[in-house]
Chain A
Amino acid sequence: MPQTFAEKILAKKAGLSHTVPGQIVDITPDVALSHDNTAPIYGIFKEMGGQRVFDPKMHAVFIDHAAPAPTTKHAENHRIIRDFVREQGIENFFDVGRGICHQVLVEEGLALPGEVVLGSDSHSPHAGVMGAFGAGIGRSEMASIWAVGSLWLRVPESMKIAVNGQFNPGVTAKDLALKVIDDLGADGALYMSVEWHGEAIRSLDLSQRATLPNMMAEMGAKNSFIPPDQVTLDYLAGRAKRPFELVLPDEDAAYAQSYTYEAAAIEPMVARPHTVDNVMPLSEVAGTRVQQAFLGTCTNGRLEDLAAAAAVLKGRKVSPGTRLLIIPASSQVYLDALRAGYIETFLEAGAAIESPGCGPCMGNHMGVPAVGEVSISTANRNFRGRMGTKESEIYLASPAVVAATAVAGVITHPKDI
């Protein structure tokens, strides 16, 4: 019987010929991703009676959420993680400075087509950019995987989003993601597998493609999938850590919901405080005064994102009264941006550049806002209190819009500076 991506890959991993939505299957993931929460998960693992992890090769461990450590307590947390990976013989460990887990997993050739990535992080659907099944789970669930090697998953219903044609210049995957979240709502894909199809998706580079599954967490999705193509395979050549097999949905698979978008009809979009589905066209929020502009995160902290911002900032200065924070998503992105001259452009413009990691995205450190301040960010969440104080506001937009806003001091279209 014809199957969607989720139905097919979960059947394959469970050793079944097919699965149907609602079915519960027991899965051994190819990758078990954990970050700073590795330390508390290790505590739960021991509480469960765990001694040796089920398979050290399954693990990918990152220190990115509060890295480098802002307090002694955070540093203690990091130390527990280093002890854990040494004790358990975990090789895929990426310490302070390497970057954000979802980005580094891709760069390291550990997010592979036809594989299952379970992560104790809600943006784990990100791995779908490479044609993997990525889903977020809780800490206890991750500890249980470490102990027994498997976890139950419910086979999700599938949603198909087809995007035809070509995007207009200056319109990005971020704008498409915000448009879709605006249309379908914060629970529009609750428990679902969201597949992206169509010419406009195929025309995007991997960096922009990654923004789509990353942001589907904000629509409630379990996972999100972009069909691997030659672009994907070229990127993985010489990079993939092990052989892999593509899993593609069948042409005539049955989808619970299907939507079609015309890329040319998408315009720059901005999410307003305090929910990701509170979206307006950029033109309608332009002029809003902003004290802090933040370029980075797993959503939009890649080289192409920095390039878009550098194009706006070249020869310009950040507005007095506004701060611009730039955090490359990984050390590789940082190095590439340095070689391309973007870092020089950013420093000349007056930006502050921080070490790769999640930065202030969830309010830990490296540029949290003051009470009453307004931020614009390339991140994926703008919930009240997200960046540290509930008495502040967060707008979400694409890298070029964030850069233009830093220059103008008010939310601005890049063509208007």
Chain B
Amino acid sequence: MNNIIKGRVWKYGDNVNTDVIFPGKYTYTVSDPKEMPQYALEDLDPKFANEMQPGDIIIGGTNWGCGSSREQAVVCLSQANLGAIVAKSFARIYYRNCLNNALPALPCPKAVDAIQNGETIEVDLAAGEIRCAAGTFNFPPLPDAVMDIFEAGGLIEYTRAKLEKERV
């Protein structure tokens, strides 16, 4: 896991839902994770998919990722090597999907208010810090019980290791 993430900020508002992150019409026609990034945020910000760079960071308001449980709304970003999502709060299934895909999802309302769209910021996962032009902000560490999944690189890798261990 890369402990320091540095990238450009893409800032959005409250209640951004999974239909605008990854439209429902693609949910059963686009099944290869590698094909998903081209549709990321299609109905929210048409520029995003073409212009985002690995390591970039999304800043969201409250309830980021509400709506459908579709995991593609996380995978389209994790496959593009998005660095992290910092939001005031996350919808619960979206939050779980992030952890299970080892994409840092960091609730930090004060940082969201301070960070400007387009600026370059740094997230230090080990220190629990977000460093931006306006200063340094702290976010709470991941719950211990799910840290193992995150550190394994995601739930697929975690479960694979667990199954292999059971078979030995």
Bin the interface of chain B by size.
35 or more
A48 near B156 (CB under 8 angstroms)?
yes
CA distance A36 to B154 in the complex (A): 23
> Looking at the complex, which of B2-10, B95-103, B115-123 is the stretch in contact with chain A?
B95-103
B69 contacts partner chain A, Cβ-Cβ < 8 Å: yes
Main secondary structure of the interface of A (DSSP, over half): loop
User: Considering the chains assembled together, what is the distance between the CA atoms of A386 and B67 in angstroms?
Assistant: 10
Q: Across the A-B interface, how many residue pairs have beta carbons closer than 8 Å?
A: 137
Is B50's beta carbon under 8 Å from chain A?
A: no
Task: Please judge, given known A-B contacts A74-B29, A137-B96, whether A220 and B63 are in contact too, CB under 8 Å.
Answer: yes
Is B47 located at the chain interface by the 8 A CB criterion?
Answer: no
Bin chain A's interface residue count.
35 or more
A187 to chain B, nearest CB (A): 4
Distance to closest chain A CB from B68 (angstroms) = 5
Are B163 and A383 interface neighbours, CB within 8 A?
Answer: no
**In the bound complex, how far is the Cα of B29 from the Cα of A40, in angstroms?**
11
Q: Which residues of B contact A214 (CB under 8 A)?
A: none
Q: A138 to B20, Cβ gap below 8 A?
A: no
List, in ascending order, chain B residues with CB within 8 A of A124's CB: 69
In the complex, whether B138 has a CB less than 8 A from a CB of chain A is no
- Whether A73 touches B29, Cβ cut-off 8 Å, given contacts A187-B89, A383-B67, is yes
Min CB gap B143→A, angstroms: 6
A7 at interface, CB cutoff 8 A: no
A66 pairs with B28, CB closer than 8 A: yes
**CB nearest to A122 among chain B residues:** B69
Give the residue name and chain of the B residue nearest to A139 (CB). B71
For window 182-228 of chain A, which residues contact chain B by CB distance below 8 Å?
Answer: 186-187, 190-191, 218, 220, 222
Q: Which residue of B lies closest to A368 (CB)?
A: B25
B164 within 8 A of A: yes
A-B contacts, 18 listed (Cβ < 8 Å):
A24-B146, A65-B27, A65-B28, A73-B28, A77-B31, A121-B69, A138-B74, A138-B97, A140-B100, A144-B155, A154-B143, A186-B66, A191-B92, A220-B91, A362-B19, A362-B25, A385-B43, A390-B20
